[in-house]
């Protein structure tokens, strides 16, 4: 805000993080939830890939706990 009010006082601006478009993000989330409600994903297709990868890697290392 200071750079907008007093631009002559600044040579440049270093930005550390981008601004999140919160309204757009929430609208996209609501749209996704409506789409999933209309055409749900069957449970057999909704397993996470990292879970499978972790189990297979654990089996390859010789552990029988996974």
- pLDDT for the residue 61: 60
Higher pLDDT, 14 or 64: 14
Phi-psi region of 62 (alpha: psi -120 to 50; beta: other; left: phi over 0): left
Distance CA 54, CA 42 (A): 22
When pLDDT is cut at 50, 70 and 90, the band that residue 1 belongs to is confident
- Express each pLDDT in 10-61 by its tens digit: 888 887 777 778 888 899 999 999 998 898 878 777 666 555 555 565 666 6
């Amino acid at each position: 805000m200071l750079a907008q009010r007093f631009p002559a006082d600044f040579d440049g601006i270093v930005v550390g993080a981008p601004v999140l478009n919160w309204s757009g993000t929430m609208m996209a989330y609501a749209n996704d939830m409506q789409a999933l409600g209309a055409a749900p994903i069957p449970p057999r297709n909704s397993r996470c890939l990292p879970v499978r990868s972790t189990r297979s890697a654990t089996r390859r290392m010789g552990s029988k706990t996974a």
